[in-house]
Every structure is written in C-alpha cells, then in structure tokens.
Structure 1
Amino acid sequence: MKTIQQKIWMLVAIVLFVMIAIWLTLTFYNQKTQDQYNEILQRYLEMNEVTNASQQVITDLNNFLIDPSFNNESSLSSSTRNVLAAQSAVSELRNEENDFILTNYINLIDSFVETVERSVSYQNAGDADSSLAEFSEANRISTYISEMTLSIIDSELKSYESFYRDIIAKSDDLNQMGIWLFLMMTSFLLLLAYLFSLSITRPVHQLRKAANELSKGRFDLPIKVDSNDEISFLARTFDNMRVSVNNLFAETQMKAQLEIELQENKLLLQESQLRILQSQINPHFLFNTLNTLSKKAYLEGSEETSDLLVNVAGLFRYNLKRMDRPVTLYEEVVVLKQYMEIQKARFPDRLHFHTEVDDSCLTIEIPGLTLQPLIENAVIHAIEPQEDGGHIWFRIIDQEEEVRIEIEDSGGGMSFDKRKQLLEGTIIPENGHSTGIGFSNVMKRLALFYSRESIVSIDSEEGRGTKIMLKLPKTRGIADAGEAADR
C-alpha cells in the first residue's frame, strides 16, 4: 500500500529528475559550443602573439643598438624567447588546409630570429653598419610577419565562416529546444499533478458520497473506495462501522418486533396496566436506557455509536440536574462539546466547529444551560438550511474584569428588526424550530443571575452570519471547576 506521503515524494522525485535532466542537457550543449568558440579564439590569439612578440623584439633590438647595455641585451633575449614560444604554439595549429602557408610562416619567423641574432653579433663585433643593415632587414621581416599574420587570420575567418554559421544555427536550435523542453515539462508536470490529485480527491469524493448516504439513513449500501493508501483504510473502517450500526438497527428492530408480538400475545394485560407501565418511563429511566445501549454498542464493537450514546446520556443527565443551581463555565463547555459531538454525527461533512477557549476563565459561575441553547440556535440557522453546511466559532476571551463569550456562525444572518425582536424576547420561532429553553429565557436568567442588563448583544447582517456576545462579570468566581462540581 502506497501512502499519500510516498506519492508526494514520488512526485517530487520525478520533478527533480526531469529538471536535472534538462539542466544537464542544456549545460552539455552550451559547454560544447563554448569550447568550440574558445578553440577558435585561441588560434587567433596565438597568431596575433607572434606579431606582438616580433614587434617587441624590434623595439628591444633598437634599444640595444643605441645602448648595448646588459639590461637591454637581457630584454632582447627575453623577447626573442617569446617569439620562439609563439612560433611553437603556432606550429600546433597546423592542419591540411593551412599546412603550406603555415610552413612559410614558421620559416619566416626563423629568418626573423636569425636576422636579429646577426644584428646583435655585428654590434658586439663593432661593425655598426652591418648591424644597422641587419636591423633594417629584421624590421622589414617583422612588418612582413604582421601582414602575413593578418592574411592567415583572414584565411582562418573564411575557413570557419561556415562553422560560425553552424554555431549560430545550433544556438537557435538550442533556444527552440529549450522552449519545447519547457513546454513538454510543463505539460507533463500538469498531467502528473492532475493524476496525483485525482488519486486523492476521487477516493475522498467517494467517501463523502458514502457519508451522505449514511446521513440519510441508508446503511445497506457498501462503502467502496478505489485507492491503496490511508483513505482506503479509512473507508474500510467506515464500512465496518456502517455494518455494525446496520446490525444494531436490525437487531433493535427485530427485538422491537418480538416485543410487539409478545405484547399482543399477553391477553391478560389490561389497559390500566399499560398506563402504569408507561408512567414509569421517566427521565431517569431514559437516562439509564441510554447508558445500557451505550455499553451494549461498545461490547458489540460499535465504539463510535457507543460514544454518541454516551454524549446523549451525558447531555440528558446535565439537563436533569443543572437547572436549579449555578454551574461553572467549565461544566457548560463540557456539555457544549457533548452536544456538538452529537450534531457532528448528524452533519459529519457539513458542520465545522472551531473553539478558542481561555482555560483561566473556566472557573466563573454561570446559570445552567446557558450556552447549549445559543449554540443550538447557530446549528439550526447556520447548518441545517445550508446544503454545504457551515462554520460555528466558539470563543472564551479573558478581558480583565469580564469574560467575553462569542458564538459566531456563517449562516444567512438576520435583519435589524429580527435582532431587535430577539433581544426583546418577542420573536416567534419559525418552521416549528424550538431550542427548549429559548434565547429569551437565557437572557432573562442571565439578567437575574448577575443583576444587570445588557449582558447579551448580537452582531449580524443579512448574508454575513451572526455573532452572539456575552459579557460575564467575574464577581461570582470560585476556586476551580472541581469545587463547582462538588457543590
């Protein structure tokens, strides 16, 4: 099984391989072209070096003839060696096309060096006229060397003209190849990214579709996901949960049917006895029944169903015990999270719940069942009407003398008149919606509890959601949350 992380690394490796291959190809062709340029340029430089060296020899020879000192003689010897070194480098440029002219060129350099040496010899022998004649001859040969160098370079330029054109053509081809490689690489990577994203989004879409079917109560449809990564494991686990819930429903229905048949067969059961039995089904019995169902679901392997029943039982128990006395904000947050777990089971893909809680504020006292009705309003108006669901944000913020509680949703919002009616307690529930205690009841109990008004405020406009804000004073704070639970 390939994990999603392995797929990502594989995509990265392919991208790096393609980029390195393109870089190596372009570098190879560029280096090859550059080497060819350098080779031709080196030929021209070496030929030009002969001219420069010969002219330097003429200058040093003239200085020596004027002043035959040791320094001038050393300079002349050094420049002569440079000419011979340049001659040696030029001889390595010989090929079939320039063999004849290059041979003459090398011989001409030899004649130049011999003439310079004769001029020095005559000067050392005291024959100034002969030395001057040889100097003139050396100067003439140096001029001829310069002309011949230009002739050879011109010949080289003509010989390599086609080569230059070929290099320019290759450079254009290289640019076009780079453009095509870039387009091909871009297309390949886009296709690869599409296939990669499809391998992730398709299983997620199949899983979402299956979850929607489950939310509609269709537990008989198997969950199939075409994948070989973590999503496949999640789908199998989800399918096992579906089977467990479906079996539980089937077992419950079968037991209900058996009980109906048993009741029908009890001819001695009178109507009065039925009424007595029905009167015994009180809230505590329902709470105990939920706990029994939770344990049974856990024993049968349906842990998520068990957790859901535990949350329902906890919420039910809290509703029974917390109306007659204040509770801590910590206890309200706990039951609020239990309520949201139940709602998430109803809207697994549509409900997005975000919390931001300052733990230092959880010890203050608050009337029981204050937050759950407000959050229920948000679920009814922000999640249920929207096909794609929505977001609910719950925040507890410490503001020195007060604790600020915000319940914000991404629903359709409300008009100014509706906000006013809601704050005044004159609004009528729409479409049969009721939150049990109700928004107005919460405001009245908060006003009595803290002996002050304007605790609740609403920020909302049509089309941009609703934010309900509670500003609770810290005057009724207690030591900690555990102390509140003991009282």
Structure 2
Amino acid sequence: MKIQARFILFFTLLVILMNGVAFYLFHNSQRTIDDYHTSFERFIVLNEISQQTNTVYEAMNTYLTARTQTELTAYATERKILSQEKEELLDTVKNEGNDQIVTNYENMIESFLLECDITVQAFQRQEINQYSGHLNEAAQISAFIQETTLTLINSELTDYRIFYNEMDQKSSYLQWMGISLFVSMIIFSLLMAFWFSRGITKPIHELAAAAKKLAKGDFTANKVVVKSRSELRLLAETFYRMQENIQGLIIEMKQKSELDQLLKEMELKSLQSQMNPHFLFNTLNTISRRAYIEGAEQTSELIESVAALLRYNLGNLAKDVTLKDELTIVREYFFIQKSRFGERVKFDVIADENVLDCKIPVLTLQPIVENAFIHGVETYEEGGKIMIRIYAEQDDVIIEVADNGVGMETTRLSQLFSNDEHSPIDNRQGHSTGLGMQNVKKRIELFSQQAGSMTVHSSKEVGTTVRLNLPYRKPKGDEQFA
C-alpha cells in the first residue's frame, strides 16, 4: 500500500472511530429522551381524558339547560374529541402491567359516552324520567373515570420512579462509557500512529545502515525486506539491485583484468607483429604453386583470403565480435586450406542465420577449426571432413566443430586443456593464431561470466567434436573486424 494511501486509511479510520463513538452516545441519549417522552405522554393522555370527560358532561348539562342547537353542536364536538382520546389511550397507556385496568377504563369511557347519548336522546323526546336516570348514571360513570384516572396516574408515577432510577443508572453508564470510549480511541490512535510510523521509519533506518556499509565498500549488507507494497518497497528493491549491480561491476572488472592478464600471459600482443612461420611458409608456398599452375584469377582470390586472415589475426584481440565475423574468417581459412589439399578435405557449415549476430570473443572458432584440421584430418589422403553446426537451444547458442579425424585417447584428451606449453597436444606448429584450446576455453568462460562452456568428445579412429555453449548476446551496434 502506498504511503499516501496509508495516510488516507489512517485518518479515515480515525474519523470513522470518532463518529462511531459520537453516534453511539447520541443514539443512547436519544433513546433516553424517547423513553422519557413516552412516559410523559401517558400522563398527558390520562389528564386530557379526565378533563375531557368533565367537559363532555358539562357540555351535555349546558345543552339540557339552554336547549339550543349551538349547545348541542358543542356537545357533539366535545364528545367526538373524547372518543378520539379513547382510541389514543390504547396506543399510549396500555401495557402488560395495566392491561386489565386500562380495558375497564376504556369500557367506562364507552359507557359514559353511551349514557350521555341516551340522556340527550331522551331529553329530545321529552321523556323526563328516563333522561334523568341516565343523566345520574353518566354522572356516576364520570366520577368512576376520575377515580380510575387517578389510579392509573399513581401507577404511572410508580413506574416513572423506577424509570427515573433506570435513567439515572443509564446516564452514569453512558458517562463512563463515553470516557472509556474516548480513552480507548486515544490509545487506539496512538497504537495506529506507532504502527504506521514504524512501517515507514524502520525500512528507512535499515536502508540508511545498508547505505553506510555500501559507502565503506562492504557489500555484505542483507536485503532490506519491506512487506507493504509502498514506495519504500520499491526504494528498498531498487537499492538492493543497485548494490548487486555495483558488486557485479566490480566482479566484471576483476574478470576483465584477469582476461587482460591472460592475454598478456599467452603473449597475444606478440601475435600482432608476427605469424607462425610454418603456417606462413605453407601458405605462401601454396600461392606460389597456384600461380605457377594456373592463371592469376584464383591466385588473387587466395591472396585476398590470406590478407583477410592476416588482418583479422593482427587486429584488436581484446575486443568482442559477432559470430558472423568469426564464421567469415573461418570460411577464408577453409578456402586457403582447400587450395592446399583440394578434395582431400571437405568443409561444411550449417548455421542458423538468426543467431549469427551473437557476440563472441575474437579468435574463438579459428583455433578450434585449425586444431580439428591439424590434429584430425590433415594426414588423410582422402575423405577428411570438418563440419561446423550453429543453432539456437533455448536462450543459448550452440556451436559444434566436428571432424572425422584420427580422434584422441583419454590421456591426450585430458592434455587438451593443459597449461603446459610443451604438451604434445599443444604443439602449435601449423597454427595461424598460436592460440591453444585452453586459451579459448578460458576466454569463453570469462566472456560469458562462467555462463558459457566448452566440451570436447573424441573417440579413437572416429573423430572429435568440440561443443561451445554460449549465452545469446546481441551486439550493441555493428562491429566489424579491423
């Protein structure tokens, strides 16, 4: 998670927590107010019913006295109000504790209204005795309603005392709850702030310590691990890659220095000023014979091949070239040798054009081909064959130089990579480069940073196959040999 997102998350959680506490306290306070309002509303309803009962009775007596339509209308209005309040009584006052009393109370109100209606109707029919009896009955019921109202109010007051005590306890509880939540919120915020800041400062301190080690040339610092997917993780990984790259560059510089030392030890600089006399003699002798036997055209081609070979061998031996360049100069070598031996030796090249841009140390193929020719098929009067196969295998380039020559025994095969300059197998008479197989193998390993390899398989009277395994490296630009 990015640092900005972590900031947003932290403050969002803090705001949600604060609002949650505030909402909880507000909700409980609101419930207390609602309970108080409900209790108070019961008193109001009972008081209104009691007063409205007296009002209805007085309105009826006024009508019986005045005998006007106005008074009758006033009575009907007051009666309607009392009937509505009776309906509200069931919703407001009635509960499990006073169910029986409220039911009787409701029946009394209903009876009171009925007696009032009968009284009015009897009065309108001028039935004096009847309406007088119902009037007295209505007065008695009104008195019962007043008494029952007082009973219900007393019951509500008792319940209200209990309710008040509960509200007092609840208020204390909410007070302590508010304090506890406030303290918990502060502790939680501090813990969140500590966790958040530690997730930022710890990797920074570790990176600073690793940077100090790196500045002192110590590359043994452990990788700083950042578990979160923040910018610090990218910074730590980038720093670690930079450390590895610097260490790799130092190793590469050491290897390059070792390669330069190897070139010096193998006297490669001396090759820039001289060729192996035996090879040069054979080549010039061939040119002389060719010039004597035929016209100057083929002789010209042969001279051009020798010139190309000389330029390549006398070039910068410390640089890298492409596989195509190496293959070109090997073909020139093939041409020269074919001019010497004619049909005695056959040269074949099978190459994948897609990998010929792979980089390779200079003078890699030519020494191997020369070794196959001189120690393999040079003594053949006919049927000699040297084949070069170049192909891709996964991310590597495979180069195979095979001959059907005399082959080597195990003992001689082990001497092939010997550093002994006087080793029989390393006798370089007839070589154009003066480079041994050990030199080629070592330069391949240094060039590929130990990723490449060189192996040799040989059987007596069957032939020898040299296999090079190189990582596929494309050149940065077009590099041609000098």
TM-score range for the pair, normalised by the shorter chain length: 0.3 to 0.5
With structure 1 as the length reference, what TM-score do the two structures score?
0.44
Normalised to the residue count of structure 2, the TM-score between the two structures is 0.45
